[in-house]
Chain A
């Protein structure tokens, strides 16, 4: 009875997920510098993963009748949502530490020197 609804919803979710993933990959290819590429790549890790996993979860629970697979798909999403931002943070911090200065929209550096970037990456909030 709800069969068509499940299929419609999983089509919609997986379609939205594909759009997010393609947008993220195009951004990764076309963005001008490292920090903007980082921003584009995180679209894949959040939007794409969330929507594709939602669609797969509906399929696993209601079409394949395999709840264990559904739970494991949700676990994949859980780990992705924890690890992807951590990896992005570590990447941006390491890039700053090695002296990559972010640029503004005209391509001019927004910090004085690579040393300023390193100092920024090592600074801690005031207590």
Chain B
């Protein structure tokens, strides 16, 4: 069961990497990397159970949060060309 889930996750991670390499726009690549991160979280959790040591789940927990923060940071950089800027300025509207 865990072997099947690990294999499915590895195959889909390969497909996601193909999209990240092909992706015509930068947002396709960001989407693929974010999706890859979600699959990595699941893979770490399943692999811990496969090896009989479910303690690996801690790492999956941390990875899911870092994946989210990384995606948001990259998106903010592409939206404002700056990581330190605030939200919208009043004259944007």
Interface residues of A (CB under 8 A from B): 7, 10-11, 14-15, 17-18, 21-22, 24-26, 28-29, 34, 37-38, 41, 44-45, 48-49, 52-53, 55-56, 59-60, 64, 66, 69, 72-73, 75-76, 79-80, 83-84, 86-87, 90-91, 93-95, 97-98, 100, 122, 124
Contacts and interface: CB of A to CB of B under 8 A. Distances in A.
Dominant SS among interface residues on chain A: helix
Contact of B92 (A26, A55, A94, A122): A122
B38 A28 contact: no
Interface in B1-40: 1-2, 4-5, 8-9, 11-13, 15-16, 18-19, 25, 27-28, 30-32, 34-35, 38-39
Interface residues of B, number: 48
Interface of B: 1-2, 4-5, 8-9, 11-13, 15-16, 18-19, 25, 27-28, 30-32, 34-35, 38-39, 41-42, 45-46, 48-49, 52, 54-55, 57-58, 60-61, 64-65, 67-68, 71-72, 75, 78-79, 88, 92-93
